[in-house]
Structure 1
Amino acid sequence: MEEEYLLLDARTWQLVPAAPEILSDVADSGHAFHGEGTHYQVETATPVHHTLDGLRSSLTGARRVLATAARARGYRLLASASPVLAPPSPMALNLDRERRQVRQALFGPLTESLVQCGRHVHVGTLDKDTAVRASNRMRPWIPTFVALAAGSPFWNGRDTGHASWRTVAWSSWPSAGLPPHFLSTTAYDSAVRSLLDSGAALDEGMVYWDLRPSASWPTLELRAPDMSPRLDGALLQAALARALVAHAIAADPGMFHGPAVSDRGLRLARWRAARDGLEGAGLDPFTGTEVPAASLAWQLVDLLGSELEAAGDYNHVVRTLTDMLRHGSSAARQRVVFARRQSATDVLRHLADETEAC
């Protein structure tokens, strides 16, 4: 799992371009920390894990190291998809590589969306054929992953009316959004080549689809979820992603089929998930019918019951989803905090406190 974090000044709650100094401070921590698209962000990548307990241990350790280093310099660490307040202008983009410099020159203001943070779940080991087939089977459930993780309702200090504004904003990139359905691995390679040839992506690492065979690892990479502060939410995403890959492979061991859902219907379902999140309504991607988003989440859990049981993850998934529905998603909890005093800084303090309570 890869997690992206924001760094804020503990006094002003403004983004602070402190990633280089924080990364220097934690260089010998034993964790894999990296820079991101802006100097307001740091990223961690866990080792490969076979259990949720192992993954929790890695994530907890990484967060504690980063949070301690941030506090020592007068900053706070946020496991948040959005900075909530308006980013500084001009933004402190990370241009330490030629690739990033070229991206900035070509895409200009689009690079401002890089300050929003996602969570990436890698599931493997998979060859490309298997990863592409699994992606086809998993596509209808991408909106449910968006709803479960929705945690970016605020942008520029105001409520956007969306539970996951990051999903909407990130869709502006020409190489982002839902992955196509592919009738062969050759068709997948052709689609990637079209992105590169058109200039929509500089390389395979800029294929920003919500779900993709990784450009670097023998994995299928789920990129749709918002970053969120509570670790149980991260583990829920990991458990469901792994189970859905296993289910997809078992259901389609060696053949490519036509799409189970229309692209138009799936785009609408994804947008509705971004707007309503877990507390509102979603669109059943198979029928287009409006149903409670919570019902779609339970439908996914029911579908994956045997895979979750086999991995030992079923109880955690049921417990976490029940708790989320009782106490609210990250987006809902942020809105409750904001409603008390109409204070965006209260929201940021809440996110920082939840991040550290790992």
Structure 2
Amino acid sequence: MERNTLAGSDAVAEKRTLGVEEEFHLVDSTTGKPSDSGPQMAHERSGVTGPGQVDPELLSSQVELSTPVCSDLGELRAALTRLRNDLVDTADRRGERLVASGTYPDSYRSLITPKQRYEEMVARFGVVAREQVVCGCHIHVGVNDPDLAVAVMNRARPWMATLLALSANSPFWRGEDTNYDSYRAQIWWQWPSSGMPGVCGSYEEYVESTQHLVDVGVLQDRGMLYWDIRPSEHLSTVEFRICDVVPRAEQTVMLAGLARALTARCVAEERDGIPLPRTTPELECAARWRAARSGLSGDLVDPVAARAHPAAKQVHRMLDYLDPTLREHGDREAVREQVTHLLHTGTNASMQRAAFQSRNSLRDVLEAATVTTTEG
């Protein structure tokens, strides 16, 4: 993503700007196998899609869209719809499908996109890099002050697992049901700079502590800081990276609305001098694992109270906590509608399992996760 693509402004009251990056699998419509046309498609769509952009990814069977800066959820939905529709139409002309699943469900070894940086990553990380046949959704929320961005990272920690549970969309891996709702999270957390960083008192402290990973030779550069939430290295944003990609644009919009409300709430608490919520790394890790394991179908862990709650209760606790900032942004009804739908129907992981069970066919799973054109 280019510098300042999603830059926000703190000057506009507390109504913060938004941007989203979504990764997708490209799958051959006839064989059901990943297509290695991601770099070609990204090159073909460069400069054609209007505001926003399309980029290749680490694996040649993937492609990523990035929205322009958006001021509200309606604008974000329109941008996502336009960009998704363009990719779907392009894939269709090529005899391919655009698949929104956190993992590619069957066994397949994708090619690495021919780019020096990606080749160096594979040389450094080996199978960890080659196994990243996974697709996530990254949400950027505008925060101009880097110290405030770090404060958001510190304060949002208790709710990261709930965001993951709501987005869970990757139960299958290498042809079998993993019994996880988000197995993508398990794969992604193999990187040495994934999960959550430590609590930092300032942006300067954050840079100093994370730079050590580069200095000791573990990471190539700071662009490989793959934390579940982080201050962007190049944009005036906080970036939420914990979510699986989801099939429907309105679900992505819901996740973005929650991320923006959480950012606004954390900034307000930091400015009001409210003490940080007290958690432990162990409980935070357990909360994220529990969310990846059972999504919305089991318990979710509250790392502050050190208690497990039924998933629906923990989700409603988050909605109640964010209600003031959801109202301020005018997002309350749109977000609650989509959250209520998910709590009623189950996660997209449940949808994938239901598709599989009808004929024990992973092709049906791909069909269920295929992105279709919609009206903006």
TM-score tier, shorter chain, comes to over 0.9
Aligned partner of residue 247 in structure 1, secondary structure: helix
How far has the Cα of 1:357 moved from its partner? 4.8
Alignment-mate amino acid for residue 93 of structure 1: I
Q: For 1:132-281, list aligned pairs within 5 A.
A: 132-253=150-271, 260-281=278-299
CA distance in 2, matches of 1:110, 1:9: 25
Note if 1:52 corresponds to 2:70: no
Classify 1:293/1:198 alpha carbon distance in 2 versus 1 (closer, same or farther; 3 Å): farther
**8 Å contact from structure 2 (residues 290, 299) kept in 1:** yes
1:144: Cα distance to partner? 0.5
Q: Which one of the candidate residues 101, 105, 114 is aligned to 1:95?
A: 114
Do the aligned residues in 2 keep the contact of 1:183 with 1:257 (CA within 8 Å)?
A: no
Find 2:360's aligned residue among 342, 354, 358: 342
Change (3 A) 1:195 1:259: farther
Structure 1 residue 292 displacement after superposition:
1.0
Identity across aligned pairs (percent)? 37
Q: How far does residue 345 in structure 1 lie from its aligned partner after superposition?
A: 0.8
Moved more, 288-297 or 165-174: 288-297
- Cα contact 2:81–2:374 (8 A) shared by 1: no
Q: Which amino acid aligns with 2:300?
A: G
Match of 2:142 in 1: 124
Residues 7 and 76 in structure 1, CA contact (< 8 A), matched pair in contact too: yes
Report the Cα offset of residue 258 of structure 1.
5.7
Structure 2 unaligned residues grouped into runs of 5+: 1-19
For 1:287, which of 298, 301, 305 is the aligned residue? 305
Give the whole-Å Cα distance in 2 for the aligned partners of 1:35 and 1:256.
42
Gaps of 5+ in 1: none
Corresponding position of 2:36: 17
TM-score (norm 2): 0.91
Structure richer in helix, relative to its length: 1
Distance between the aligned counterparts of 2:174 and 2:189, measured in 1?
A: 18
DSSP-derived class of the 2:179 partner: coil
Which whole-Å CA distance do the structure 2 matches of 1:356 and 1:339 have between them?
26
Alignment partner of 1:29 is 2:49: yes
TM normalised by structure 1 equals: 0.95
Where in structure 2 are the equivalents of 1:295-334 lying within 5 Å? Answer: 295-334=313-352
CA displacement, residues 262-294 of structure 1 (integer Å, 9 cap, x when unaligned):
111110011000001012211111122121112
Q: How many residues align?
A: 354
Counterparts of 2:346 and 2:270, CA distance in 1: 35
Residue 23 of structure 1, CA deviation: 2.2
